[in-house]
Amino acid sequence: MKNTFVVLALTFSSLISFASSTCYVAKTAVPEGAPKAICLRDLEVDSAGGSVTLNTDLEDTVKKALQISSFVRHNEERAKFVAILHLQDFNDNFGCGEAAQVSATIAGSLNTTRTPAVDPEALTISVSYDHKNDVCHSPAQETILEYVLSK
C-alpha cells in the first residue's frame, strides 16, 4: 500500500506564492514512507468554489484541490478555514481483509489586508491514517502526524 501525503499554502481568491518553499516538519517520528517535511510552493483558497489548491514539493501532490470543510468569515477582510483531502481509501474486497484511509487537513486564517494573506506560522497541517488489519474483527488504529513550520 502506497502512502500519499499532501500539504498546502493559501490565499483568499488569488494565488499566494512563497519566495522560496515554506517547509513544515513532523513533530514526532514518522512511519516508513511518510515525509519528514512537507514544503509548500504556493496555495490558493477559493471560498466561492469551496476548495484550497496547493502546490508542494512532494511527488504526486502537485496542484491538488482540498475540499473546504469549514469557512468562517469574521469580517470582509478576515476568515478562518479548514480544508481536507482524502488521499487514499483502500479496502481489500476479499472478505475480512485490510483497510486503510489516509487524509490530509490544513487549517489557517486569511487576512486580505496583509501580505501574504495567509500567515505561514498560523497554518496547521496534519495527516491522519486509519488502518485495520482485519475489517471484520479489529478496530481501526488511528495515527495522526502533525507538521509545524520549520524555523
Instruction: Tell me what pLDDT residue 27 has.
Output: 92
* CA 134 – CA 19 distance, rounded (Å): 46
Q: Which residue ranges make up each domain of the chain?
A: 15-149
d(CA 87, CA 32): 17
The 10s digit of each residue's pLDDT in 35-58 is 788 888 777 787 777 777 777 766
| Integer Cα distance of 142 and 117 in angstroms | 33
pLDDT tens per residue across span 85-113: 877 777 766 677 788 888 888 898 888 77
Q: What does the alpha-carbon distance between residue 39 and residue 57 come to, in Å, rounded to a whole number? A: 6
State pLDDT tens for residues 67-79.
888 888 888 888 8
pLDDT bin (cut points 50, 70, 90) of residue 18 is low
In the chain, the amino acid numbered 82 is: V
